[in-house]
Structure 1
Amino acid sequence: MCELFGMSASCPVTAKGALGDFRLRGGLVADNPDGWGLAWWESGVFRLAKEPLPAHESVPFARLCETTLSNLIVAHVRKARFPPVNTMDNTHPFKRVCCGKEWVFAHNGLVPDIVEMERANNGSVCQPAGETDSEYAFCHLLSHISQNILASPAANANFSFPIVAMISELIASHGKFNFLMSDGEHLIAYGHDRLHYLEQRGSDTQGGTCADSAMIATEPLPGDGNWIAFEPGELRIYRLGRIVGRILTRPSGQIVELERLPV
């Protein structure tokens, strides 16, 4: 049911080992043959490459695994479920501009009810180009982010992550909802039922030495490191390889734990 990979680091690196292992999960070592996508932050903007084809067979993806140099990556391999159609528009990650920032988003899970919920949303800020529940969920999150900023302009400088956590848990109550999202500064990861993280300090991160790095993956990837499962309903926020916030919610959307960490 799709898989996710994300990385945040304190300086640009390739992450080619982990990203190369993740590419093989696109139809070779895992059943996700219906498309791949890679978004990476470079020179102040998100670059995006994707194909509605098996990742493990993709020459462009293999090349990008070797050459992409970035401190922020969001990647996805797809198992088409909603809808079971392979098109470029249905391939993750998705990219939108909202609230003065460029955002990318990729999802693992199934929340078909979100389509009608977002269509009925009078505060919608984007129109999906494809048909996936994932892209509708992305637009739904962005609409709430926009509403929060309009209600409190200071939130644009001090982003209100609790809003994202609460809306994410409400969406998850309609199915399964794990995602990676970024505004070009933060890597935002929400684990409803299937996500893991690996944090490293002062280590060589496969392409360059950075003080800090963090990787997120649906399933632990090969290699050294202690991958840790997200708690159900856990939102983790990273900036430059370090966790800067952690929020736990429950099915009602209620925040039960809020932890802000020093940058």
Structure 2
Amino acid sequence: MCELFGLSSSQPQAPGDLPLVEFRTHGGDKADNPDGWGIAWRYGQDLFLEKEPLPGFSSARFDRLVQTIESSLIVAHLRKARWPPVNTLGNTHPFIHACCGRQWVFAHNGMVPDVVATESALCNASCLPDGQTDSEFAFCHLLRFLTDHYQTPGTDDDWIGVLSAVSEKIASLGKFNFLLSDGKLLIAYGHDRLHYQESADAGSSSVVIATEPMGDKASWTPFAAGELRIYLDGVRVRQVLTHPAPSAGRWNLDEQSDLP
């Protein structure tokens, strides 16, 4: 299965302080995710993205990045190609698209293939996928609903309610664990498999989020099913517990009557 890694911190984290080296080994060595790697990070006020449709554990480029990146916001992904089972750069996570006056980055673990036909039918010109994955179509679907609601710094009930409701509906189509960021916030949705590790001391706070615990596994806490957590500079600013229904096939995701 694919694996996710995310960081939000009040201070840039040095590479040696993060489990990215271990995470990289899950890209086809210690775990069966050989079909691509990607990492997005914030430097200054900008988001940067590098990725390859190659095994992460044997990539010299990925090795260099995990040894040198120093950032307070990271979203990374290791891919197990399932839908579609095609290794291309366009199908490699994370994905970046613009919405609401800023760039957003997204990475997903799971399968929600029904969302492709739904989003394609909407002809959403504001977010056109570069690849073929259900993940990127789901990303565009989320952004479409956020367009008229998004506000920052992340405590506004309107857009968070919309994000929670749409995430829950997409999750009902299959499995939908994801990391999402607007360059400031780290948003994590744990449908059925995600963990977090929070830390805080005098003047510093951080959270690391991953599909599988790494390092000291006892220090990680699993997400509740359907839990949405939002962090700003390593501090949790919102937590919402949705209740994703068991997967039951196609759902009309364009129906907005029950959205907040």
Scaled by the length of structure 1, the TM-score of the pair is 0.88
Name the SS for the 1:111 alignment partner. coil
- Of residues 217, 226, 242, the one that matches 2:219 is 226
Q: Cα deviations across residues 27-85 of structure 1 (Å, max 9, x unaligned)? A: 01100000000000012111101000000001111111111011000000000000000
Name the SS for the 1:148 alignment partner. coil
Query: Hey, what does 1:147 align to over in structure 2?
Result: 148
Question: In the alignment, does 2:160 pair up with 1:161?
Answer: yes
Name the SS for the 1:72 alignment partner. strand
Query: Hey, what does 1:190 align to over in structure 2?
Result: 189
Give 1:157 shift. Answer: 6.4
The whole-number CA distance in structure 2 between the counterparts of 1:178 and 1:141 is: 13
Q: Cα deviations across residues 157-186 of structure 1 (Å, max 9, x unaligned)? A: 665212111100100000000000000110
Q: Do 1:234 and 1:249's aligned partners in 2 also have CA atoms closer than 8 Å?
A: yes
Q: Do 2:15 and 2:68's aligned partners in 1 also have CA atoms closer than 8 Å?
A: no
Unmatched tracts of structure 1, length 5 or more: 150-154, 204-209, 254-263
Q: How many residues align?
A: 242
Give the % identical residues: 53
The whole-number CA distance in structure 2 between the counterparts of 1:143 and 1:224 is: 37
Give 1:124 shift. Answer: 5.3
- Of residues 233, 238, 242, the one that matches 1:240 is 233
Q: Do 1:200 and 1:212's aligned partners in 2 also have CA atoms closer than 8 Å?
A: yes
CA spacing shift, 1:156–1:189, aligned 2, 3 Å? closer
Which amino acid in structure 1 is aligned with residue 191 of structure 2?
A: H
Query: Hey, what does 2:257 align to over in structure 1?
Result: none
Tell me how large the CA RMSD over aligned residues is.
1.8
Query: Hey, what does 2:207 align to over in structure 1?
Result: 214
CA spacing shift, 1:224–1:174, aligned 2, 3 Å? closer
Q: Cα deviations across residues 133-160 of structure 1 (Å, max 9, x unaligned)? A: 00000000000000325xxxxx466652
Give 1:223 shift. Answer: 3.1
The whole-number CA distance in structure 2 between the counterparts of 1:235 and 1:121 is: 26
Give 1:251 shift. Answer: 2.9
The whole-number CA distance in structure 2 between the counterparts of 1:172 and 1:122 is: 22
The whole-number CA distance in structure 1 between the counterparts of 2:129 and 2:224 is: 30
Query: Hey, what does 1:9 align to over in structure 2?
Result: 9
Q: Do 2:153 and 2:185's aligned partners in 1 also have CA atoms closer than 8 Å?
A: no
Name the SS for the 1:165 alignment partner. helix
Q: Which structure has more strand as a fraction of its residues?
A: 1
The whole-number CA distance in structure 2 between the counterparts of 1:114 and 1:223 is: 36
Which amino acid in structure 1 is aligned with residue 53 of structure 2?
A: P
The whole-number CA distance in structure 2 between the counterparts of 1:228 and 1:188 is: 16
Alignment of 1:119-134 (within 5 A): 119-121=120-122, 125-134=126-135
Which amino acid in structure 2 is aligned with residue 79 of structure 1?
A: K
Unmatched tracts of structure 2, length 5 or more: 246-252, 254-260
Name the SS for the 1:110 alignment partner. coil
The whole-number CA distance in structure 2 between the counterparts of 1:250 and 1:82 is: 25
Name the SS for the 1:29 alignment partner. coil
Query: Hey, what does 1:206 align to over in structure 2?
Result: none
Spell out structure 1 runs of 4+ moving beyond 6 A: none
Q: Do 2:94 and 2:106's aligned partners in 1 also have CA atoms closer than 8 Å?
A: yes
Which amino acid in structure 2 is aligned with residue 64 of structure 1?
A: L
Query: Hey, what does 2:114 align to over in structure 1?
Result: 113
